[in-house]
Structure 1
Amino acid sequence: MSEHTTPHLPTDSVTLTSGAAMPLLGFGTWQIKGSQATDAAAAALEAGYRHLDTATVYGNEGEVGKALAESGVARDDVFVTTKCPPSKPGLATLRESLDLLGTDHVDLWLIHWPGSDGDVALWKDFVAAREGGLARDIGVSNFDAAMIDRLTSETGVTPAVNQIEWSPLLHDRDVVEQHRSRGVVLEGYSALRGGTLEHPVIVEIADRLGRTPAQVIVRWHLQHGIVVIPKSRQADRIRSNADVGDFELTVADLRAIDALGPNP
């Protein structure tokens, strides 16, 4: 895709607990640091992404915040997610994240992975942050259904989102149903890793449609209502990954891709 070509971005979103709309397409920033993080986030915003995903342990919240501040895009038009390690003090960590991001709130704050104590105390900090307006919605990452149920039973508050590793090769209808039955939005990361881009089924569909394998994978997520956050350091690829708003996969294509997972 030429840098002068305007990508056809999707407008798909999902409504969270607060009533906020979370774009199904976001830009991931894992393993992108320093000026590359600023440049990549800036390229994503310029391409039309309105959802940025970062985390305390990524070490790039300041760079992502700089890109947002310099983009000319209104803060309220961008959905910003960050994450807290379970070993960190909740509210103090969030305030550090907000300072680095240059904002007075995040749209979504996640416990980055399960801790050894079940995370109930930390989750109560998350609830307090939501009630105090520091985080509009709160959720978890890398949790299973039993872990989510414990937080709900102990606090009465169900995570709005669970961000887990997800791709066609990991597709599991039971996992999808576990989330939907609890009202938890499933968000996937590492969608373009693990051999998905080279899989013959995906390559065949991409070739037939005149699309890239990455575009097919992103489109597959969107049509399943699953949030996807592809990442790249390259502006052309950032734009290309988002250029999925002007085509759809057929039912047969979806079924063929679903069948790559362990439980289609």
Structure 2
Amino acid sequence: MNCRVWVPCFCPRRYIDTAQVYSNEAEVGQAFRASGFDREEVFLTTKIYSASHGYDSTLSAVDASLGRMDLDYVDLYLIHDACSGTERRLATYKALLDCRDRGKIKSVGVSNYGVKHLEEIKKAGYEMPVVNQIELHPLCQQKEVVTYCRDNAIAVQAYCPIMRGKLSHPVILEIANEYQKDPAQIVLRWSIQRGFTPLPRSSKFERIWSNAQIFDFELNKTDMDRLDALDRGKAGSISWNPIDVD
């Protein structure tokens, strides 16, 4: 199943991240109902892809998501990308805000949004999104948009935080050996200490469990600085990362 499950050990809520384009909203809904958890114990996020952008089409897309998941509401609905142009982006954002006001969505956010995309929301007079979900890991730190989000009280969620398992960089391996942790735990801890919410994805229980075991140690400043120095900007992307589209 192509969704992200984040289970922080200090939090009673389980976070599930999916999207319309993943084509598994129905399965996510089925899994939630089979879990036996109360609705308030699970935080569900989904996203609308640029092909469906527009005011009326977004209203329909939200209803379709709720229907597939068989839910009355989702906790967070994101604009998956900014690839539809200013007019359709803003119409989509307005529709999501209206869906929130009608109780179908608890919070509205964006994904893969650069500073210019966030600025157009502000200039249009809309409230800012609660979340911007972007590719973030030591090789791709997207510092400009991270700084903007922090200055505007937008939470930063990090996708691909464990770099799709491509963790063979010597610095990451050296630090992992120093702390007697696996490389994925090192880059997830880096993400936490930088104030991000990392969203690792795995289909293996042992990896899901291991990814949550990052709260019993802390990286020192020297090692944080070493990881910070790995940043290659957009060149370090390992995913889609359309953050600079017009």
Distance in 1, matches of 2:232 and 2:152, equals: 22
TM-score (norm 2): 0.84
Look up the match of 1:129: 99
Look up the match of 1:233: 203
Look up the match of 1:97: 65
Shift of the 209–202 alpha-carbon distance from structure 1 to 2, 3 Å rule, reads: same
Higher relative contact order (CA 8 A, sep 6+): 1
Deviations 1:172-211 (A, max 9, x none): 4333211111221111111222675111111111111111
Moved over 6 A (4+): none
Percent identity over paired residues: 37
Q: 1:93 is aligned with what amino acid?
A: A
The within-5 A match list for 1:77-96 is 77-88=41-52, 89-96=57-64
Preserved contact between residue 172 and residue 262 of structure 1 (Cα < 8 Å): no
Look up the match of 1:180: 150
**RMSD of aligned C-alpha atoms?**
2.1
How far has the Cα of 1:152 moved from its partner?
Answer: 2.1
| Corresponding residue SS for 1:107 | strand
Look up the match of 1:151: 121
Q: 1:83 is aligned with what amino acid?
A: K
Look up the match of 2:219: 249
Q: 2:38 is aligned with what amino acid?
A: A
- 1:111 equivalent to 2:79? Answer yes
Preserved contact between residue 131 and residue 156 of structure 2 (Cα < 8 Å): yes
Look up the match of 2:244: none
How far has the Cα of 1:96 moved from its partner?
Answer: 1.3
Shift of the 144–173 alpha-carbon distance from structure 1 to 2, 3 Å rule, reads: closer
Look up the match of 2:29: 65
Look up the match of 1:26: none
* Gapped regions of structure 1 (runs ≥ 5): 1-31
Q: 1:57 is aligned with what amino acid?
A: V
Distance in 1, matches of 2:77 and 2:69, equals: 13
Q: 1:85 is aligned with what amino acid?
A: Y
Distance in 2, matches of 1:195 and 1:78, equals: 26
